[in-house]
Chains A and B, each alone.
Chain A
Amino acid sequence: MLKNLTFRIVLIAVILIVSLVSLYPVKEWKELETFKGFPSTINLGLDLQGGMHLIIQVNNKYIEDLAAKDKSIDVKEYTKDAVQKTLEIIRNRIDQFGVAEPSIKKLANDRIEIELPGLRDPQRARKLIEGQAVLEFKMVHKENDVRVKELTDEKGDLLPGKTVPLDYKLLYEYPKTPEGLPIMLEDGKTPKKMPYLISDKVELRGDDLRTADVNINQENKPIIAFKLKPNAAVAFEQLTEKYRERNENESNRLAIVLDNNVLMAPHIKSRIPGGEGIIEGGFNLDEAKNIAIKLRSGALPVPIDILEEQTVGPSLGSDSIQKGIKAAYIGSIGVVLFMILYYLAFGIIADIALALNLFMMFGFLAFIGATLTLPGIAGIALTIGMAVDANVIIYERIKEEMRLGKKLRGAIETGYSKAFITIADSNLTTIIIAIVLYQYGAGPIRGFAVTLMLGIICSMFAGIFITRTILIILLNNNKISAIPIFSPFAVLLDRFLPEAKK
């Protein structure tokens, strides 16, 4: 018996110490202050610390269209490949954007999940991620100005009945104000656009760039300065030589097109060696930085769609933590008081187990590196309520045994052994549910499933093992012959319940 007791105490001590060290690593124990704050070892979900969660998917229709044109494309293989490449490119873009601990994961159904914790500028991040970033250098039609006048109305749209010349497309430039805002048409809703008749032939593309950086020109406007790879630089030189405007009547313009939007279309005045140039698109600084990052990371093989987005501001997150913790505190105090009121000294034992249970739960959360989400906190608050369940089952059993005339010791023995199967059975089903939740839930719900599961395991350990150990210690002491369990409050409440005897 004593040996058994020693084993019990050692096991509990080990688990509590592991929890403590997981929660507050020894190296942080410089000051007592450490223990006052929220442990840094608990990972907070995006909904608590603020940040951005995105689910994107490669555009399947685009791939199907490609496959319809080119029979050699296997849609499945192509998609798989595209997802992999997209993943890498997006990771590249985000790395350059500079977010602490981003997570980019492949999901089922060609989807990619992006999590950017602590992100404070969601609009910019969104602009960085979306957009294929296909950069192309293409020639503008020689008679662009005349043709465009014939083909389009004052808004820049193609006039009905007109067709664009073969191998040419109508692409647009969207001019901007000096502040980088779009220039609106008179209706104030649609931005102004300038049509260009642009050849389908791609002279140079994004792959040909060696570097792309943001710079500021003499007018204090952000621009993108690029350098071409050596062979592309040669091609560029040949191109500019070929199309150089040799007299005033000649018009040769090179359009720089990003995702089918014309950024600029300068005239080629002379041969350009060296393979360097700049792009001015009336960008503001953020935009220019975004485009430069995208150009450096390379173009996405396929356009992507944003399927889902969750953004939580940091203030809402911290507000949620505070409220969640407050709810957990109030819930705990309510449960603790209720247990003491109902089971007296046994209630206190259950409450000690409850406190250790919570401590172990947080310790485990830190130990396995799980993420605490807002539903997760709700899960913890809920476990507080359910955690005492094991004790309630046992105590009710003990009371019953005592009513049948058993002595305290005997009643405790029988109570624990009979209640154990019940507790195990009922908790196992809840674990099944938690597993299903984890399997089918997304994001924060998973966090909830994890805390629910941990809660059950810890509460079983605390509710059965720890309380039992405390009782053994108490009963080993010969001075204690009775531990009060029948509270007047309970007796009062039991009056309202039908008689359970017989």
Chain B
Amino acid sequence: MDIIGKRNIFFTISAIVIIAGLISILSHKGLKYGVDFAGGANLIVKFGEPVTVEKLDEIRTLLNSNNIQANIQIFGKLGSEVNKIKISTASDPLIESKITGIFQKHFDKDIIESSAVDGKVAAVGENSTAGGKVAAAGENSAVNAETAAGEIPAANVGANGVDKANVGSVNAADNASSKIDINLLKSSAQISENLKAIFIQSAVESVLASRPFNDMNSLNGNLKKFNLSESELNAIFILTDAGISDVRKNINSLDNAGLINVFTDIFSSVKFIEYFNANANKAVDYIDKSGGLIKSVEDLNQVFEFDSTLFDKFKSQFSTSSFIVESVSMVGPSIGADYRKKGALAIIVSLIAILAYIAWRFEIEYAIGAVIALGHDVLITIGIFSMLDKEFTTQILAALLTLVGYSINDTIVVYDRIRENLKAGANSDIEKVMNTSIIQTLSRTTMTSLTTMIAVAAIYYFGGEVTKDFALALLIGIIVGTYSSIFVASPVVLIWKKKEAQKNRAVKK
């Protein structure tokens, strides 16, 4: 078989593919850059229910009516399982909050943003009125200074004061229509805080509902579900007014605020904090295992260890959103332009480095042949990507560079053989030597391409959405790279050599 002799056929094939790719790029007015190169924002939003074409249209209209110009794609193949969409918009640091807000209003009417509810989860504790000098916001507010100079303020505004202040949900349940979204409230610290609040609230309610207690046994029975032992209760409460030296509190006479205070202290103990944290961690693990999105608060019943009446309370205050924002990537326009420059530079630098290396290890003609073959690979891969209407991202750039490394690998194996064969038979015709060398290395070249393609195909089919395009670029690149190593690189060297020889002859004459 004569590969070198038929080089013009191969050059023509390459030229056609390159030109087709360039035409595609031109007709698309350049490469279709992803957000990392063009600047912009991408959000991946996951829904609890499969996303249908109708829902997609609904989302489009929804965003349009809120003045958000977005390109919405289904993330993955449209079928029964699809529940993710990708929203691409202009670069905007607030985009996540905006879209979350819009979706929440539309899809989850009974939930308000989790962070907004936090403000309600608060109780008045001993230490929580701050400052001593009260200033109220608004029109008619006043800065009062009733305390005399030098007086030590009643408030302890240390870090502990904060902890104490933000527990004890007093009025979150008042407004049943606004619940906390457990899917958004994924940090275990936040869940733990809320569990504590629920415990305090339930304990206060439980005591208020069954007072007065005639003996410690009935109190114990009343508070059993809170994991409080008899001895613990005995150390804190008594049933009648205590003497001055007694630190215990009369459970029958404490007012609402007093009860909240006592139970805040009880449930802030190390034992309970550990208990809440353990439960919260389990909940977070469960939510994570469910793909970050649980469909009903009820699901957490199997996770939490505590009494069902307490879980009912939990359920009344929490809800589940029908969606979560899985990932956000936002790149400002200026940094996008920077990345484009860097990317182009990376390709150029690597080509120059390879040129230098091969020129050093072989001869300059070989280096030129290799770099032309590599440019060929990159151009064709970019062209095919443009034809497939795929986005050009930093990942694709990495794939391109990898394929440059891969293709040069193949090319060098052939070059090496040519060098070896030339040494062995010094006088033989270079064209023949090249042809023999290419054929001798052919089975190795195809073998390596096959094994690499097996691995890359596995990434393409099983590696998930995020690396799919990366794998596709590599698959295309491996085919093109193998082709160029066999049919392009060495013939180019030959043409160059022949030209050199002609020049030399001309000089000699």
Interfacial residues, chain A to chain B (CB-CB below 8 A) = 47, 55, 109, 120-124, 126, 130, 175, 179-181, 189, 211, 213-218, 220-223, 225, 227, 237, 240, 254, 263-274, 276-287, 289, 305-316, 318-320, 323-324, 326-328, 330-332, 334-335, 338-339, 342, 374-375, 377-379, 381-382, 384-386, 388-389, 392-393, 396, 400, 418, 421-422, 425-430, 432-434, 436-437, 439-442, 444-445, 448-449, 452, 493-494, 497-500, 502
Nearest CB to that of A428 among chain B residues?
B357
Contact B416 A422 (CB under 8 A): yes
Chain A nearest Cβ from B293, distance in angstroms: 8
How many B residues, CB 8 Å from partner?
Answer: 135
Pair B442/A498 contact, Cβ less than 8 Å: yes
Interface contact B115-A306, CB-CB below 8 Å:
no
Of the A-B pairs whose beta carbons lie under 8 Å apart in the complex, a sample of 18, sorted by A's number, is A120-B187, A121-B190, A216-B130, A222-B166, A225-B131, A227-B157, A267-B141, A274-B145, A277-B143, A285-B122, A287-B115, A313-B326, A314-B292, A324-B467, A327-B463, A426-B413, A432-B354, A436-B350
Query: In the bound complex, do residue A433 and residue B402 qualify as a contact, i.e. CB atoms below 8 Å apart?
Result: yes
Q: A313-B326, A316-B44, A392-B447 are in contact. Are A220 and B122 (CB under 8 A)?
A: yes
CA distance A384 to B186 in the complex (A): 37
Q: In the complex, A121→B181 CA distance in Å? A: 13
Task: Find chain A residues with CB under 8 A from B448 CB.
Answer: 385-386, 388-389, 392-393
With an 8 A cutoff between CB atoms, is B13 at the interface?
no
- Top 7 nearest A-B pairs by Cβ distance? A315-B292, A385-B455, A385-B452, A331-B458, A215-B130, A323-B464, A433-B405
* Among B93, B131, B138: residue with most chain A CB under 10 A: B131
Chain B: minimal CB distance from A239 (Å):
11
Asked if B462 and A269 sit within 8 Å, CB to CB, the answer is no
Cβ distance B36 to chain A, nearest Cβ, rounded Å = 8
Distance in angstroms between the alpha carbons of A499 and B442 in the assembled complex: 10
Least CB distance from A122 to B in Å reads 7
Which of chain A's residues has its CB closest to B1's CB?
A498
Q: A254-B143, A307-B331 are in contact. Are A429 and B357 (CB under 8 A)?
A: yes
Cβ-defined contact, B332 with A306, below 8 A: yes
Q: A426–B411 Cα gap in the complex (Å)?
A: 8
How far does the Cβ of A493 sit from chain B's closest Cβ, in whole Å? 8
Interface presence of B273 (CB below 8 A): no
Mark interface residues in B303-332 (1 if CB within 8 Å of A CB, else 0): 000000000000000000000111111111
Q: Does B412 contact A (CB under 8 A)?
A: yes
State A270–B145 Cα separation when bound (angstroms): 6
Tell me, yes or no, whether B241 is within 8 Å of chain A by CB: no
The answer to whether A218 touches B124, judged by C-beta atoms less than 8 angstroms apart, is yes
Nearest-Cβ distance from residue B455 to partner chain A, whole angstroms: 3
Q: Which of B138, B150, B444 contacts A392 (CB 8 A)?
A: B444
Q: How far is the CA of A166 from the CA of B482 in the complex (A)?
A: 74
Q: Is the CB of A273 within 8 A of B150?
A: yes
Q: From residue B246, how far is it (CB to closest CB) to chain A in Å?
A: 29
Note all chain A residues with C-beta closer than 8 A to B408: 426, 429-430, 433
CA distance A440 to B346 in the complex (A): 6
Are A277 and B361 neighbours in the complex by a CB distance under 8 Å?
Answer: no
Tell whether, in the assembled complex, residue A429 and residue B326 are in contact, meaning their CB atoms are under 8 Å apart: no
Instruction: Flag if A264 contacts B141 (CB, 8 Å).
Output: yes
Known: A278-B130, A335-B454, A375-B398. A285 touches B166 (CB 8 A): yes
- In the complex, the answer to whether B150 meets A331 with C-beta atoms within 8 Å is no
Q: Assess whether B335 is interfacial by the CB under 8 Å rule.
A: yes
Besides A221-B122, A324-B459, A334-B454, 13 more A-B contacts (Cβ < 8 Å) are: A120-B186, A179-B116, A269-B145, A278-B135, A308-B332, A334-B457, A396-B447, A425-B412, A429-B408, A433-B401, A437-B398, A441-B346, A449-B398
A216-B124, A269-B143, A334-B454 known; A264 and B115 CB under 8 Å? no
Determine the chain A residues whose CB is within 8 A of the CB of B123 once the complex forms: 216, 220
Distance in angstroms between the alpha carbons of A180 and B190 in the assembled complex: 18
B504 touches A (CB below 8 Å): no
Interface core residue of A47, A240, A445 (most chain B CB under 10 Å):
A445
Partner-A contacts on B (CB < 8 A):
1, 44, 46, 66-67, 93, 96-97, 100, 112-113, 115-125, 128-138, 140-145, 147-151, 153, 155, 157-159, 161-162, 165-166, 170-171, 178, 186-187, 190, 287-288, 290-293, 324-332, 334-335, 338-339, 342-343, 345-346, 349-350, 353-354, 357-358, 361, 394-395, 397-398, 401-402, 404-406, 408-410, 412-413, 416-417, 420, 436, 439-444, 446-448, 450-459, 461-464, 466-467, 470-471, 474
**In the complex, are the beta carbons of A497 and B406 less than 8 A apart?**
no
Counting chain B CB atoms within 10 Å of each CB, the highest count among A181, A430, A433 belongs to A433
Do the beta carbons of B342 and A440 come within 8 Å of each other?
A: yes
Closest to A394 in B: B444
Whether A327 contacts B459 by the Cβ 8 Å rule is yes
Q: Is the CB of B165 within 8 A of A216?
A: yes
A179 and B133 contact, Cβ closer than 8 Å, known pairs A378-B459, A426-B409: no
> Judging by beta carbons under 8 Å apart, are A215 and B128 in contact?
yes
Given contacts A120-B186, A313-B325, A385-B454, is CB(A306)–CB(B464) below 8 Å?
A: no
| A179 vs B178: C-alpha distance when bound (angstroms) | 10
**How many whole Å from A377's CB to the nearest CB in chain B?**
8
Bound CA–CA A227/B190 (angstroms)? 28
What residue of chain B has the Cβ atom nearest to residue A427's Cβ?
B409
Contacts of A181 in B (CB 8 A): 112-113, 116
A327 touches B122 (CB 8 A): no
Contacting residue for B112 out of A179, A189, A227, A326, CB 8 A: A179
Residues from chain B with a CB closer than 8 A to the CB of A378 are 459, 463, 467, 470-471
8 Å CB contact of B458 from A240, A319, A330: A330
Q: Is the CB of B357 within 8 A of A432?
A: yes
Are A375 and B451 CB-contacts (below 8 A) given A277-B131, A316-B292, A430-B408? no
**A440 and B349 within 8 A (CB):** yes
A314-B288 in contact (CB<8A): yes
Given A307-B335, A426-B409, do A215 and B171 touch, yes or no (CB 8 Å)? no
Interface pair A216/B401, CB less than 8 Å apart: no
CA distance A6 to B158 in the complex (A): 67
Q: Which of B66, B121, B288, B329 contacts A285 (CB 8 A)?
A: B121
Instruction: From the candidates B138, B404, B440, B454, name the one contacting A331 in the complex (CB within 8 A).
Output: B454
**Residue numbers in B under 8 Å from A217 (CB-CB):** 128-130, 134
Task: Say yes or no: B162 contacts A215, CB within 8 Å.
Answer: yes
Alpha-carbon distance between A151 and B354 when the two chains are bound, in angstroms: 68
Please give me the residue from chain A that is nearest to B105 by CB atom: A188
Q: What are the residues of chain A within 8 A of B462 when measuring CB–CB? A: 323, 326-327, 330
